[in-house]
Amino acid sequence: MHREQENALVELLDIAPVADELAARFVAAGHRLYLVGGSVRDALLGRGGGDLDFTTDARPGTVLEILSGWADAVWETGIEFGTVAARRRGQTLEITTFRADVYDRVGRKPAVAFGNTIEGDLARRDFTVNAMAVELTGPGGERRFVDPHGGLAALAAGTLDTPAAPQDSFADDPLRMLRAARFVSQLGFTPAPRVQEAMTAMAGELARITKERVQAEFSKLILGAHPRRAIELMVDTGLAEYVVPEVPAMRLAIDEHMQHKDVYTHSLVVMEQAIERETDGPDLVLRLAALLHDVGKPPTRRKEADGRVSFHHHEVVGAKMVRKRLRDLRYPKAVIDEVAQLVYLHLRFHGYGKGEWTDSAVRRYVTDAGPLLDRLHKLVRSDCTTRNRRRAAALQRSYDSLEHRISELRKREELDAIRPDLDGNAIMELLGIPPGPLVGKAYKHLLALRMERGPMSHEEAEAELRRWAAEQGVD
């Protein structure tokens, strides 16, 4: 594309009016301002509306003076790195002075150095699609497209490449390798061959990055539009060994139905099917549970006497493995608990058969799932990947039956709030005992009866409590 065509394209971009207002202030101060990086990429993709990133030749102190009296709020949190953040009419802006950083290639924090040209600033960016800029301070407010590394052509081709040699780029900041996988998921891009080769050769460098930063990129990747493609890239390049080694380990286990190449492929299909069942946008907990639900299979794999492969109690082992991995990645406790519980429960439905469960078993299923019940429904249904249409239809009908029974019990018994028929205070009053462990034991006994029988009258509950107390030797 010729320069005239590029600039004509840029003139058509939907760039927020606040950007032009800010540019006018920089012109008045004798400085240049460029919309840069992801903001330009997303504008070209028609994905505008997010935060705006700018770069400028002005030093941070000057940027603060330019923003004074115009911005509704200003933050100096990143000023030591040359970044000043601001808000104007609800729009968040980040303005960073041209950078010419030098990396020691031991950690990932560079020695901050300010640059003097837009070209030098763009050369240090992670990928060519993020190394484009639009100057907003041209004569008469004219916009000028700056693309020294062919980012526009790469964007059109859906190719992910680096401005410099990928070995140099990834040596400077190994997190860029995981970011490449994230862009594969979010934008559907394909890494250039040299990029994938460098990722494969340098995957071990990811160990330099803090777990918190790795987790942040991995979560964005999981929540993207194409997470399967990104996971496959991570496994193929070896990055997964430094993030979720349990995933590539699943390639070693053939699943018991012999319907898939391996448990790894099955898990990717389950994740895709779970995504299709999402109703309120991307669900991190559901996606992680779907991807990791069978990680317990490799360590529990056994060959039985009849030649079949079994994975007894893999859900129990898998839940423990998931807890350990997600803790290592510094996920919040709530996420860890929810994903592990889904992994633990995902196999329970297979005892349902054609409806042999008692009402007590259905109550326990609902109670153990708690607020995760809707996600559990989605996970269990997604876990059916058999190519046998008759068997798949039978499994779905069986789960339809379970959901119907849950619905009927919920109407009758308020399943979402199952409690013993007597609370702690009533137990202490009836037995004449003070607070303590014995009250908890009595409570658990009544809860077990509630699960088994359903609701009891107050008189029945009192009689059962007295019977239990006599058995326990409580006067």
Q: Residue 146 forms beta bridges with which residues?
A: 133
Helices (H), 104-190: 118-123, 151-157, 166-172, 175-187
Evaluate whether 134 touches 163 at the Cβ level (below 8 Å): no
Q: What is residue 82's predicted lDDT score, i.e. its pLDDT?
A: 93
Which residues have a Cβ under 8 Å from the Cβ of 167 and sit 6 or more positions away? 198, 201, 202
Q: At what angle do helices 333-345 and 359-369 cross, to 10 degrees?
A: 160
Task: State which H helix or E strand residue 439 sits in.
Answer: helix 437-453
How far apart are the C-alpha atoms of 226 and 1, rounded to whole Å? 29
CA dist list (Å): 128 to 108, 145, 153, 164, 191: 20, 14, 9, 9, 11
Evaluate whether 404 touches 359 at the Cβ level (below 8 Å): no
How far apart are the C-alpha atoms of 351 and 453, rounded to whole Å? 20
Q: What is residue 7's predicted lDDT score, i.e. its pLDDT?
A: 66
Q: What is residue 259's predicted lDDT score, i.e. its pLDDT?
A: 46
pLDDT tens track, the chain, 475 positions: 566 667 667 766 778 889 999 999 999 999 999 999 999 999 888 886 678 999 999 999 999 999 999 999 999 999 998 999 999 999 999 999 998 776 666 655 666 789 999 999 999 999 999 999 999 998 877 888 999 999 999 999 999 999 999 999 999 999 999 999 999 999 999 999 999 999 999 999 999 999 999 999 999 999 999 999 999 999 999 999 999 999 999 996 555 554 445 899 999 999 999 999 999 999 999 999 999 999 999 999 888 888 788 888 999 999 999 999 999 999 999 999 999 999 999 999 987 877 778 888 888 898 899 899 999 999 999 998 877 788 888 888 889 999 988 888 777 655 555 566 678 888 888 888 888 888 888 888 887 777 677 777 888 888 888 888 888 887 6
Q: What is residue 353's predicted lDDT score, i.e. its pLDDT?
A: 73
How far apart are the C-alpha atoms of 74 and 84, rounded to whole Å? 7
Evaluate whether 55 touches 96 at the Cβ level (below 8 Å): yes
Q: What is residue 202's predicted lDDT score, i.e. its pLDDT?
A: 97
Q: What is residue 71's predicted lDDT score, i.e. its pLDDT?
A: 96
